[in-house]
Amino acid sequence: MEKPEKLIVDGKRLDGRAPDELRPLKIEAGVLKRADGSAYVELGANKVLAAVYGPREMHPRHEQQPDIAVLRCRYAMAPFSVEERKRPGPDRRSVEISKVTREAIEPVLFLELYPRSVIDVFIEVLQADAGTRTAGINAAAVALADAGVPMRDLVSAVAVGKVDGTIVLDLTKEEDQWGTTDMPVAIVPRKKMITLLQMDGHFTGAEFKQALDLAFNACERIYEAQRQALRERYAIKQGG
């Protein structure tokens, strides 16, 4: 796509959203039969699945940790998830996102409860439109809770940025591509602890504060949607 002349017209973004508006969000827990826990997240045009296996015995055994469980995260994009076919298999980007996802989630887990074990989190991006790492973290947190893994809290994540000089919430692919700044953030809501903060581009100190505030507010709403998905899953179980 060619760079549009303007990304914000009369205070509205190209998809009609206000600068502080989230894309439509849908979260469902327990969508996969064979995983111990799973979740499906749609955020605008993003479609992301997370599957959790474990805690279970770590193989290969030499990767076991004597005192704690290892959290293993694998973020992957389906070849058909992006405009230009993505070659299957890991690349630099997916290795990086897998690592930051693990680091965003680890602080809420009680890994010391499961020595020599592994907890596997697989994140599969089926359709991508910017914000897949944050959508993946949201899905992974719900999938871990669905698996019954003991957690201090969930983790909620969203990207904020700057487009045509305006601070915006939850960037689309066009905004990510043509905007000035993209800043994905993950938060442990109850502690208000930041477990992921990356930034492409630049902000003044005041803009950074404004963007972070926007991310915190949006994460409150995402947190509520995550909890609602888990409540609905539990209600279905109760009914048989």
The verdict on 124 binding ligand CDP (CB under 6 A) reads: no
- Cα(133)–Cα(91) distance, integer angstroms: 15
Q: Mask: binding to ligand CDP, 186-225, rule CB under 6 A, as x and -?
A: ----------------------------------------
State whether residue 214 is helix, strand or coil: helix
Helix axes 205-238, 132-146, angle to 10 degrees: 30
Strand pairing of 117-127 and 70-77? parallel
Question: Between 65 and 198, whose beta carbon lies closer to ligand CDP?
Answer: 198
Q: Which of 5, 10, 83, 235 binds ligand CDP (CB under 6 A)?
A: 83
Give, in order, the Cα–Cα distances in Å from 174 to each of 1, 68, 195. Answer: 8, 42, 26
- Cα(97)–Cα(239) distance, integer angstroms: 38
Q: Which of 129, 170, 174, 175 binds ligand CDP (CB under 6 A)?
A: 129
The verdict on 185 binding ligand CDP (CB under 6 A) reads: no
Q: What is the DSSP string of 96-133?
A: HHHHHHHHHHGGGB-GGGSTTEEEEEEEEEEE-SS-HH
| Residue 139 CB, nearest approach to ligand CDP (Å) | 13
Our CA dihedral for 140, 96, 116, 60, rounded to 10 degrees, sits at 110
Q: Which of 38, 98, 101, 132 binds ligand CDP (CB under 6 A)?
A: 132
| Residue 232 CB, nearest approach to ligand CDP (Å) | 26
Nearest to 117 by CA among 192, 63, 160: 63
| Residue 93 CB, nearest approach to ligand CDP (Å) | 6
Number of residues this chain uses to bind ligand CDP (CB under 6 A): 14
The verdict on 49 binding ligand CDP (CB under 6 A) reads: no
Answer yes or no: are the C-beta atoms of 186 and 196 closer than 8 Å.
yes
The verdict on 82 binding ligand CDP (CB under 6 A) reads: yes
Task: Choose the binding region for ligand CDP from 21-29, 35-43, 78-86, 185-193 (rule: CB under 6 A).
Answer: 78-86
Contacts to ligand CDP by CB under 6 A: 82-83, 86, 93, 128-133, 173, 176, 182, 184
